Amino acid sequence: MNEKILKNRDRIDNADEQIFDLLLERLDAVTAIGHIKKQEGLPV
């Protein structure tokens, strides 16, 4: 396959990996906020 295409597909794969990692980090923060609100008796 064309080397330029492969290089750009690798870039896409790397970006997808970073997006996935950031979404996991966001989910962790959202979960933590939910637990804090529950402990404080605040609406979730």
What H or E segment, with its residue span, contains residue 35?
Answer: helix 3-40
Let me know if residue 29 belongs to a domain: yes
HSE-CB at 2 with a 13 A cutoff on CA atoms is: 4
27 lies in which domain range?
1-37
Q: Return mean pLDDT, the chain.
A: 98
What integer is the mean pLDDT of 11-34? 99
Let me know if residue 20 belongs to a domain: yes
Q: How far is the C-alpha of 38 from the C-alpha of 44, rounded, in Å?
A: 7
pLDDT at 6: 98
Q: What angle do CA 22, 38, 25 make, to 5 degrees?
A: 5
Q: How far is the C-alpha of 42 from the C-alpha of 28, rounded, in Å?
A: 19
pLDDT band at 1 (very low <50, low <70, confident <90, very high): confident
Let me know if residue 14 belongs to a domain: yes
4-18 confidence digits (pLDDT tens): 999 999 999 999 999
Let me know if residue 43 belongs to a domain: no
Q: What is the pTM of this model?
A: 0.79
As for how many domains the chain has, the answer is 1
